[in-house]
Amino acid sequence: MTAKLKTAVLGATGYSGLELTRILLRHPRLEKPMLLRRPADNATAADLADVFPVLSGNGGYPLHPLAWPSLKEQGVQLLFLATPHETSRSIVPEAMAQGLRVIDLSGAWRLKQAEHRAIYNFQDANAVRAAEITEKAVYGLPELNADRVANAALVANPGCYATSVILALAPLLKAGIVARKRGIVSDSKSGVSGAGKEPTAKTHFVSVADNLSAYSLFNHRHVGEMVEQLDLTEQELIFTPHLLPIPRGILSTIYVHLNRKMTPTELDSCLRTSYSGKRWVRVFQTPKLPQVNFSLHTNYCDLGFCLADDGERLVLISCLDNLLKGAAGQAVQNMNLMYGWAEDEGLQ
């Protein structure tokens, strides 16, 4: 029998890390993942069940300190990072030097252009090495970059908002039917888990419940991903994120003008042709539109649209689970590509 792959997860104590761990535990081609504890994590938590009691009674999920000799001794070949951006930025160079392949769920290595990366204000210990790694990193959106992901040493898993917007717009922009100079507007809304596990005044229950709020206007970290991957200028896209009073899920409503009159049949064909054979994108037959509930707890990105009677104004709807297709599920989809497995293994 083919030997099973040994993986490790650094950051399993976060929401995305928990979802990732759960998927890896049931993946048929993997050994039980090695779970690593960050120095900043609660040192009193010896087991992931101490952090997430829902895992109690399943044989234990010990949290180990990060030590490269230990990973080598355990035969780890692939390291997942579900860590803050700064942590991933500092760890990846050493991980790659150790010969590990890496899938990073943070924004540390997604951006090629310095002006977009500046929002993170990274302070690299070795700027030359960081630049080399940046060039080698593959943006891990499987529906667009599957061939490059397959051979990557470092996959930069996309952001959740970025995934929803890029997958909706990419087919139309590639077909050249968007009137880009008239502007594209994405009005996107996310559940609170998208803000991460650490609570803030803005994500406190009292602030979120029975409320809807916009934030990070014109300076959200995911905008750089969107314009780089879609080959847009920042002047061609307005992205406004909102915080929904729900635990998880994203709904992006995207407004575009077309440069010629089109029919619903033509637009439907454009989307379906682009994602033919792509397991995790579902195109809804107009007039049916995606809803947050349809994609929750799945790895699907659901797409739908409504075309105005004039045939030139279009509204796209894109929905996904921010912790799965927007994070952990997509990371496993990338792993499957890296090792030549079917994209849906472990994700059904």
For 108, residues 6+ apart whose C-beta sits below 8 A from its C-beta are: 85, 86, 88, 89, 92, 120, 122, 156
Contact 318, 251 (CB under 8 A): yes
| Separation between Cα atoms, residue 53 and residue 44, nearest integer Å | 15
Residue recorded with tokens 């999920």: 61
Residue recorded with tokens 């030590």: 67
| Separation between Cα atoms, residue 240 and residue 217, nearest integer Å | 6
Retrieve residue 148's tokens.
């490059």
- How open is the CA angle 343-335-62, to the nearest 5 degrees? 125
Q: Is 160 annotated in the active site?
A: yes
Residue of 206, 208, 200, 301 lying closest to 247 (CA atoms): 208
Residue recorded with tokens 């033919």: 276
Cross-strand bridge partners of residue 240: 187
Q: Which entry of 160, 270, 301, 319 is annotated as an active-site residue?
A: 160
| Separation between Cα atoms, residue 345 and residue 23, nearest integer Å | 10
Q: Hey, how many other C-beta atoms are within 10 angstroms of the C-beta on 284? A: 18
Long-range contacts (CB closer than 8 Å, 24 or more residues apart) made by 54-63? 61/12, 61/21, 61/35, 62/35, 63/12, 63/13, 63/35, 63/36, 63/37
Active site residues: 160
